[in-house]
A = this chain, B = another copy of it.
Amino acid sequence: MTAVTVALDYHHAWTGKDLDLAMSFIAPDIVCDAPAGRIEGAEGYRAFMAPFVQMLVRTDLIAAFGDDEQAVVVYDTETTLVPSGPAAECVTVRDGKIVYSRFIFDRLPFESARQARAATSQGRRTGST
């Protein structure tokens, strides 16, 4: 299996909301450099992915390329929070598992949407008292 096969199997698993299957492609000692910082270990990685998978509405695969060891998967996501949140994952694969991931996406629309929701919820609470 080439790196891109593993990266795509992983991609299809989590975008299909099967986090158990997705995690079967993740090495126990995965290191992931995500926008908010480094995540180490499969447990932390799962905790990072789970809330995102939960709010996922759809994904569109944009590109997937790689060689024997490294692959890049680029896709767009629609979530309940943000209508378009494109991302790129550049992964290193060893023995059929992702051992390293550089995860790139724009946190700004997610932060803005969270703040807007918090403000609305705050407004509702203030309005009801």
Contact = CB atoms under 8 A, between A and B. Distances in A.
A116 interface: no
Given A35-B106, A107-B107, A74 B90 contact: yes
Contact of A88 (B71, B74, B107, B108): B74
Nearest to A106: B35
Contact of A90 (B35, B63, B70): B63
Contact of A63 (B72, B106, B108): B72
Interface residues of A, number: 22
Contacts of A33: 86
Given A35-B106, A63-B70, A104-B104, 11 more contacts: A62-B102, A63-B72, A63-B90, A65-B72, A74-B88, A86-B102, A87-B104, A88-B90, A104-B106, A106-B107, A108-B108
